[in-house]
Amino acid sequence: MRALVTGIVVAAACLGLAVAATAAPGPPHLSASPNPVDFGRTLTIKGRGWPVIEFCKRRVRLTLQSAQNSFVIGRPTIGENGRFVRRWVPRRSEVGARRWKLVARLRCESGEDGSTNFVRRSVKIRIR
């Protein structure tokens, strides 16, 4: 009888750890490919692990930033699984050929006082 109870307790603990591991996907991640990207070719921007909670918006703002410029390239919606995908084609009339920082910014608010907190991730890309 004691072995049965011990086995049930161990199984329940393992199940609890497995549920906790799947519930915490880790910090938000941002990727862009191909890198470098040529003008007229499609750049695929992917995000995973972004929070889907009542205190955060469901749209992430994607911008290209350099020392002198900033350019908004889209506002994709985050899915229930915390992922988003945005495809964008760089054009010479919009951005220049250089190294850029691709920034993803999600607007959240504090659950305590309602102040704004941003979740940000960035990746360096090159447009040629």
Lookup result for tokens 């205190």: 55
Give the model confidence (pLDDT) of 13-65 as tens digits: 444 434 333 445 689 999 999 999 999 999 999 999 999 999 999 999 999 99
Lookup result for tokens 């994709």: 76
Average pLDDT, the chain: 86
**What pLDDT score does 20 carry?**
39
Give the C-alpha separation, 57 to 50, whole Å: 11
Q: Are 37 and 90 in contact (CB under 8 A)?
A: yes
Q: Is the pLDDT of residue 6 over 90?
A: no
**What pLDDT score does 118 carry?**
96
Give the C-alpha separation, 107 to 118, whole Å: 5
- Stated pTM of the model: 0.77
